A and B are shown apart, each in its own frame.
Chain A
Amino acid sequence: MKLEDQRTSVYRVDPEHPESATLPTLRTEELLLNMGPQHPSTHGVLKVILELEGERIVKATPVMGFLHRGVEKLAEDGTYHQFIPHTDRLDYVCAMYNNFAYCRAVEKLMNITVPERAEYLRTIVAEVQRIIGHQFWLGTQALDIGAMTVFFYTFRDREILLDWFDELCGARLTTSWYRIGGVERDFTPSLIEKLRRFLDYFPPKIDEYVVFLEKNRIWLARTKGVAVISAEDAISFGLSGPTLRGSGVDYDLRKYDGYAAYPRCEFSVPVGKNGDTYDRYWIRVQEMRESVKIVRQCLDQMPAEGPIMADVPSVTLPPKERVFTNLDSMIQQFKLFSQGFDAPRGEIYCGTEAHKGELGFYIVSAGGGKPYRLKIRAPSFIHMGAFDHMSRGYMIADAVTIFGTYDIVMGECDR
């Protein structure tokens, strides 16, 4: 709108009869507000263009791609083993789950069965990753809404687990501990003992986080009835994980597909009722409790010793100790990293229940050592598709809540 129009439309005064000045006419068009890529609450670099009428959001257009690194294109250039560190960087909050999802997909492609102890190890670490993912989520969601103390509590406990990962595989964030066919190294007795101590220490801590929020009037006002999505819409959008279960749809790949050691563990999947932010918060807190149960059961059921990698010499890597002492292992390692293994022609899709939702890999193989096409089905990207639908009618302050309740990580969204 031209500036002159702005000026003349506000004040209408007849110079000859100034006493008859009418009330200024106010502009009531919508305001476009840019919630820019650099924002403390958008959980990464995400730009959202909000069309506002007053304080109500009329339309929200997300603009993504600031963290696009061309991971799918990079996959076509390296072997299957070489892609594992790339998967760490997808959802960097709980990196090992991405490794797990990818390794499962390649194992389905190559038709490899993972040995039993390795399955238990994988499940334990995956559930511990779920705990750190949800702790991160709870801390940042509470921080965005204003409950800053919860952030400090969850991150303090998260540090214990990150140190545990450091002892396990050498890295806190970009771990690459899963391998195709198994895991890289076994648990040491010190790790098991530390984990058991954590499992006793942690459940009262969950109660500690929740006591700040559960009956807090401000939290309830800001989460109950906010960002409601119905079950049909959630299914139509392709939402998954807690965002889908919050609307009452009982769909959890751990129960439906039954992979790793989950069929042998007893756990329940929390399902919400109203599809609002409070239900999704409650589901994630309950999932933390269920993860503790699963880890405890796996630690008790795990066979005391056994191979941690499938024994398929043409595909899986040899144990590291043998690589420098045994000629066959050295040749095997060299061949697998330089040429890759010969994958059969075909395509598969394999989905895994990451803590954000269904993380899936669609791999097309045309033979040879490199994937022909690798598509990552990232739950955060798909949740952003529903962002516009979910945020209409709510206020600007709720936009921040909606980011949090979707649990979006841009690394996964943009790949």
Chain B
Amino acid sequence: MSTLAQHIQREFPEGFVKAVEWRGDLTVTVRRESLHDVAGFLHDDPEMDFDYIVHVSSVDWPDDVERFEVVYEFYSIRKRHRIRLKTRVPESDCEVTSLTDIWKGADFMEREVYDMMGIRFRNHPDLRRILMPDDYDEGYPLRKDFPLRGKGWRDTFEFLDEKVL
């Protein structure tokens, strides 16, 4: 395991779940409760020094109990190393602590994750939809059970000779 992953495992033995290195990318999965602490450690620790947030993303695995995966990618400009931090949340309680107090750029990125996947972020300063209209209530578009053709008024039309996608 890479030294970065070992360092995180030493600091957070109960929060660390696993580390995978593939195609040159290091991915560390942690438990949801320790996400904020691990992220703070990644930002503040002088050996880690991850000052740049690259993106915040989410993946939907509908067959798993812990359905949603929240993915953060960080980069250190001074130390020049990357890390991907992941955590899983179940659908019944899809809430994660926001990291806007550590990286300011997480603001819009987390809003997009909320908009597209429905994952809420605790302590986010302004959690509302960003790409979809503010009052959109048909669901969360990037979930796997949301149809590609979209939902809404277009479905109320009847088309001739059409198979349902």
Task: Spell out A's residues near B (CB within 8 Å).
Answer: 64-65, 68, 70, 72-74, 76-77, 108-109, 111, 233, 235-239, 249, 251, 256, 346-349, 351, 358, 360, 362, 364, 372-373, 375, 377, 381-382, 384-386, 389, 414-415
A255 to chain B, nearest CB (A): 11
A236 to chain B, nearest CB (A): 4
A122 to chain B, nearest CB (A): 20
Q: Which 10 A-B pairs have the closest CB atoms?
A: A238-B105, A385-B108, A65-B131, A237-B105, A377-B55, A375-B57, A236-B104, A68-B131, A373-B59, A238-B53
Instruction: List B contacts of A236 (CB < 8 A).
Output: 51, 53, 103-105
Name A348's contact: one of B25, B51, B77, B148 (CB within 8 Å): B25
Q: Does B109 contact A (CB under 8 A)?
A: yes
A45 to chain B, nearest CB (A): 12
Interface size on B, residues (CB 8 A): 37
Q: Does B94 contact A (CB under 8 A)?
A: no
In the complex, what distance in Å separates the CA atom of A295 from the CA atom of B137? 50
Closest to A232 in B: B51
Not counting A74-B148, A239-B105, A373-B59, a sample of 19 additional A-B residue pairs whose C-beta atoms are within 8 angstroms of each other reads: A65-B130, A65-B132, A65-B133, A70-B141, A73-B146, A233-B104, A235-B52, A236-B51, A236-B53, A347-B22, A347-B27, A348-B22, A358-B54, A360-B55, A362-B55, A362-B71, A385-B108, A386-B104, A414-B131
Check A64/B131 contact, CB under 8 A, given A251-B77, A362-B71, A385-B105. yes
In the complex, what distance in Å separates the CA atom of A235 from the CA atom of B102? 11
Contact A237–B132 (Cβ < 8 Å): no
Secondary structure type dominating chain A contacts:
mixed
Supply 8 A–B pairs (Cβ within 8 Å), ascending by A.
A73-B148, A77-B148, A235-B51, A249-B77, A349-B73, A386-B105, A414-B131, A415-B131
Q: 1/0 per position for B94-114, CB-CB distance to A under 8 A? A: 000000000111011100100
A278 to chain B, nearest CB (A): 23
Contact B108–A382 (Cβ < 8 Å): yes
B139 to chain A, nearest CB (A): 12
A320 to chain B, nearest CB (A): 30
Contact A382–B105 (Cβ < 8 Å): yes
Instruction: List A contacts of B31 (CB < 8 A).
Output: none
Name A349's contact: one of B53, B80, B84 (CB within 8 Å): B84
In the complex, what distance in Å separates the CA atom of A384 from the CA atom of B105? 10
In the complex, what distance in Å separates the CA atom of A362 from the CA atom of B27? 13
Q: How many residue pairs between the two chains, A and B, have CB atoms under 8 Å in the bound complex?
A: 97
Query: B108-124: which have CB < 8 Å to A?
Result: 108-109, 112, 116
Contact B133–A362 (Cβ < 8 Å): no
Query: B33-54: which have CB < 8 Å to A?
Result: 51-54
Closest to A385 in B: B108
Closest to B22 in A: A346
In the complex, what distance in Å separates the CA atom of A362 from the CA atom of B54? 10
In the complex, what distance in Å separates the CA atom of A236 from the CA atom of B109? 13
Closest to B134 in A: A63
Instruction: List B contacts of A74 (CB < 8 A).
Output: 148
Name B141's contact: one of A73, A109, A385, A386 (CB within 8 Å): A73
Q: Does B5 contact A (CB under 8 A)?
A: no
B48 to chain A, nearest CB (A): 15
Closest to B20 in A: A346
In the complex, what distance in Å separates the CA atom of A109 from the CA atom of B55? 18
Contact A385–B107 (Cβ < 8 Å): yes
Closest to B71 in A: A362
Name A362's contact: one of B51, B73, B107 (CB within 8 Å): B73
In the complex, what distance in Å separates the CA atom of A415 from the CA atom of B150? 16
Closest to B147 in A: A73
Closest to A415 in B: B131
A383 to chain B, nearest CB (A): 9
A246 to chain B, nearest CB (A): 15
Instruction: List B contacts of A358 (CB < 8 A).
Output: 54
Contact B54–A109 (Cβ < 8 Å): no
Q: Does B23 contact A (CB under 8 A)?
A: yes
Contact A349–B54 (Cβ < 8 Å): yes
In the complex, what distance in Å separates the CA atom of A377 from the CA atom of B57? 9
Instruction: List B contacts of A348 (CB < 8 A).
Output: 22-23, 25
Check A375/B55 contact, CB under 8 A, given A77-B148, A109-B23, A111-B23. yes
In the complex, what distance in Å separates the CA atom of A372 from the CA atom of B61? 9
Instruction: List A contacts of B131 (CB < 8 A).
Output: 64-65, 68, 414-415
In the complex, what distance in Å separates the CA atom of A65 from the CA atom of B59? 21
Q: 1/0 per position for B56-77, CB-CB distance to A under 8 A? A: 0101100000000001010001
Q: Does B142 contact A (CB under 8 A)?
A: yes
In the complex, what distance in Å separates the CA atom of A375 from the CA atom of B55? 9
In the complex, what distance in Å separates the CA atom of A119 from the CA atom of B21? 27
